[in-house]
Structure 1
Amino acid sequence: MRDKVTGARRWVVKIGSALLTADGRGLDRAAMAVWVKQMVALREQGVELVLVSSGAVAAGMSRLGWSSRPSAMHELQAAAAIGQMVLIQAWESSFAEHGRRTAQILLTHDDLSDRKRYLNARSTLRTLVDLDVVPVINENDTVVTDEIRFGDNDTLAALVANLVEADLLVILTDRDGMFDADPRHNPDAKLINEARADQQEVAADMHQRRVGALAEGRAETVGGQLLAGAG
Structure 2
Amino acid sequence: MSKFGSLPKNIVDIFTNPTYVIAILGCAVLIGVFVASKKIKFDAKLIARIALALALATILQALKLYHFPQGGSITPGSMIPIILIGLIYGPSVGLLTGFLYSLINLLTDPYVVHPIQLLFDYPLAFTALGISGFFKNSNILGRNTKLLACIVAIFGRFICHFISGVAFFGSYAPAGTSVWIYSLTVNGLLMGAEAVICVVILYFLPVERFIKQASLSSY
**Structure-1-length-normalised TM-score:** 0.33
Which structure has the larger Rg?
2
* Between structures 1 and 2, the one with greater helix share: 2
- Normalising to structure 2: TM-score of the pair? 0.35
